Amino acid sequence: AQKITQTQPGMFVQEKEAVTLDCTYDTSDPSYGLFWYKQPSSGEMIFLIYQGSYDQQNATEGRYSLNFQKARKSANLVISASQLGDSAMYFCAMREGNTGGFKTIFGAGTRLFVKA
Amino acid sequence: EPEVTQTPSHQVTQMGQEVILRCVPISNHLYFYWYRQILGQKVEFLVSFYNNEISEKSEIFDDQFSVERPDGSNFTLKIRSTKLEDSAMYFCASSGDRGHNEQFFGPGTRLTVL
């Protein structure tokens, strides 16, 4: 069963505007963590932001914020004031709490294009 | 800033050969991972390792694969009898402790099986 779903294969955004990348997840474990990673064309995986299932506040890291809607099982990434350097592949990922080995499952990714 | 390193950056091998991919995790980290990303596809979990043994493995991680921490710094992934479909980017990652949320990824090794 697909546990992480990213429905937007590609997104365009104008420089300096905000963009939301969608992510929905599926788990029956009450304890889980949600992550977003950025993968530029160079290939490395860059951690952006983390949200725990018990966290009361939505996570924020600089220009990145995570719109966590637990009842809807969504964890959308919001990038404010987009920059040309934000053009990359973005992966949503989940780690369930009952996994002793910290297995992290990734979505298919969304490719973001920032236009000048 | 400490980082995860991986060698080689690119490995080309003939089908049927064995390869060893090497990783040096961040020095005070306790948990280590291998992931695979076939070109253009999503990142797939292979295995996690803690206290000198496998903690969890995916269905991809069959008898063809093995991991080892031969000394205090290296973490290796061995792929025996490589197949064409093993061609992918292999990422090593490490994390600090049970409560540590971030897995730090290395730059990856691109494996090409001919």
With contacts defined as CB-CB under 8 Å, which chain B residues touch A35?
Answer: 101-102
Supply A11's token pair: 């997104």
CB contact under 8 A, A99 and B57: no
Half-sphere exposure of B12 (CA within 13 A, CB side): 1
Per-residue pLDDT, B103: 85
- Give me the pLDDT at residue B98, please: 56
Q: What is the pLDDT of residue B100?
A: 54
Phi, psi of A72 (to 5 degrees): -90, -5
CB pairs under 8 A between A and B: 62
pLDDT given at position A87: 97
Tell me which chain A residue has its CA closest to the CA of residue B93.
A45
More confident residue, B20 or A95: B20
Contacting residues of A for B52, CB less than 8 Å apart = none
B 11-50 → A contacts, CB under 8 A: 31, 33, 35, 41-45, 47-48, 50
Q: Which of A42, A39, A66 is nearest to B43 (CA)?
A: A39
Do the chains contact at B41 and A99, CB–CB below 8 Å? Answer: no
- Residues of chain B in contact with residue A107, where contact means CB-CB under 8 angstroms, are 42
Question: Which residues does chain B have within 8 Å of residue A52's beta carbon, measured at their own beta carbons?
Answer: 101
Nearest CA in chain B to A91: B42
Question: Which chain B residues touch A106 with a CB distance below 8 Å?
Answer: 42-45
Cα–Cα distance, A88 to A71 (Å, whole number): 29
pLDDT of the residue at A116? 93
Across the range B22-36, mean pLDDT stands at: 92
- pLDDT band at residue B28 using 50, 70 and 90 as cut-offs: confident
Q: What is the pLDDT of residues A32-88, one digit of tens each?
A: 899 999 999 988 999 999 999 998 899 999 999 999 999 999 999 999 999 999 999
pLDDT exceeds cutoff 90 at B24: yes
| B57-66: long-range contacts, CB 8 A cutoff, minimum separation 24 | B57/A101, B58/A103, B60/B36
Which of A43, A93, A101 has the CB atom closest to B48's CB atom?
A101
Per residue, the 3-state secondary structure of chain A, as one string, reads CCCEECCCCEEEEECCCCEEECCEECCCCCCEEEEEEEECCCCCCEEEEEEECCCCCCCEECCEEEEEECCCCEEEEEECCCCHHHCEEEEEEEEECCCCCCCEEECCCEEEEEEC
